[in-house]
């Protein structure tokens, strides 16, 4: 446990790890930190063979590769890792994340992975996109979380997450969403966080409201159909309770 380093029992403010910093004996977190360093270095080199236009920021104006919450580690997936996952090659994923992914994934989210890979190829910073959700106790991947893209011209980001069925109703989805929102809202150029939810997805609607989201309209998504659009202004007060799933397979501005 990271209690001493992060001050969880001493009342000190938490300090989140820098890229590649090893702060724990937790195998998943150690592997993620080392993998983050390796892939950050790799992505600064020319990647013409993969077709990526690489833009890696070290200015503090982007999210960390590894985000921690009380029970979870949220690990950003670079384009090279996503590329290998789409090829059914687990080695890069395990090296980067520290654990394998569930057998039913990525087939269920293949269109999401392809979309995120294409966004990264076009120059999007992968740290604003897809993340593996890994439990800190007895590490295993239990879901995915991320934004649909970096902040748009108005400073809006749209959040999405999915918790695997066996791990729902334990508050993991809420924990993911809250941590991602907190991380995004630390940047002054982020003005709001958005979530698009199917009308029948009542658990997600309830949690959106608990996180301070307000209904602002509707849209027809080309894959998911009718969705209610919720938005939360940066810094809005939020309470925390139960969870389910937001959609992941979207791009900023797509309807």
Q: Are residues 134 and 225 in the same domain?
A: no
Q: Are residues 127 and 170 in the same domain?
A: no
User: What residue numbers bound the domain in which 243 lies?
Assistant: 151-250
Number of independent structural domains in the chain: 2
Report the CATH number at residue 184.
3.40.630.30
3 state SS of 53 = coil
Residue 156 is assigned to a structural domain of this protein: yes
pLDDT digits (tens, 9 = 90+) for 209-246: 889 999 999 999 887 889 999 999 987 754 433 334 44
Q: Are residues 61 and 119 in the same domain?
A: yes
Q: Are residues 73 and 162 in the same domain?
A: no
Residue 40 is assigned to a structural domain of this protein: yes
Judged against a pLDDT cut of 60, whether residue 52 lies above it is answered with no
**Greatest alpha-carbon span in the chain:** 50
For residue 210 the two structure tokens come to 């608990």
Question: Could you tell me the sign of the dihedral formed by the alpha carbons of 31, 34, 40, 44, in that order?
Answer: negative
**CA-CA-CA-CA torsion for 164, 165, 169, 172, nearest 10 degrees?**
0
Neighbours of 74 (CB within 10 A): 26
Complete edge-to-edge strand list for the sheet that includes strand 225-233:
66-68, 72-76, 130-135, 141-147, 156-163, 192-197, 225-233, 214-221
Domain boundary among 88, 111, 141: 141
Q: Can you give the pLDDT at residue 239? A: 41
To the nearest 10 degrees (0 to 180), the angle between helices 110-121 and 79-86 is: 140
Determine phi and psi for 199, rounding to 5 degrees: -55, -30
Residues, the chain: 255
Cα separation, 164 vs 245, whole angstroms: 9
Judged against a pLDDT cut of 70, whether residue 106 lies above it is answered with yes
Residue 125 is assigned to a structural domain of this protein: yes
Cα separation, 139 vs 230, whole angstroms: 32
Q: Are residues 116 and 161 in the same domain?
A: no
Domain boundary among 141, 171, 205: 141
pLDDT digits (tens, 9 = 90+) for 7-36: 323 333 333 344 334 444 455 555 555 554
Residue 215 is assigned to a structural domain of this protein: yes
Q: Are residues 16 and 115 in the same domain?
A: yes
């Amino acid at each position: 446990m990271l209690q001493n380093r992060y001050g969880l029992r001493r009342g000190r403010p938490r300090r989140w790890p820098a890229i590649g910093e090893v702060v724990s004996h937790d195998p998943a977190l150690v592997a993620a930190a080392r993998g983050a360093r390796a892939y950050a270095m790799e992505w600064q080199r020319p990647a013409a063979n993969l077709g990526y236009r690489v833009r890696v920021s070290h200015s503090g104006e982007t999210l960390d590769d590894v985000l921690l919450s009380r029970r979870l580690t949220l690990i950003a997936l670079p384009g090279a890792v996503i590329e290998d996952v789409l090829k059914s090659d687990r080695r890069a994923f395990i090296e980067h994340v520290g654990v394998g992914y569930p057998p039913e994934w990525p087939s269920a989210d293949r269109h999401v992975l392809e979309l995120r890979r294409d966004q990264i190829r076009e120059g999007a910073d992968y740290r604003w996109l897809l993340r593996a959700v890994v439990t800190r106790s007895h590490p295993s991947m239990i879901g995915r979380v991320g934004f649909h893209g970096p902040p748009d011209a108005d400073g809006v980001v749209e959040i999405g997450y999915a918790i695997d069925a066996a791990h729902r109703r334990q508050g993991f989805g809420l924990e993911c969403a809250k941590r991602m929102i907190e991380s995004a809202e630390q940047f002054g150029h982020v003005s709001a966080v958005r979530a698009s939810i199917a009308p029948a997805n009542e658990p997600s609607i309830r949690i959106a409201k608990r996180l301070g989201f307000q209904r602002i309209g509707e849209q027809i998504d080309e894959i998911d159909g009718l969705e209610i659009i919720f938005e939360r202004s940066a810094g809005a007060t939020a309470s925390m309770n139960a969870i389910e799933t937001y959609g992941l397979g979207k791009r900023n501005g797509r309807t």
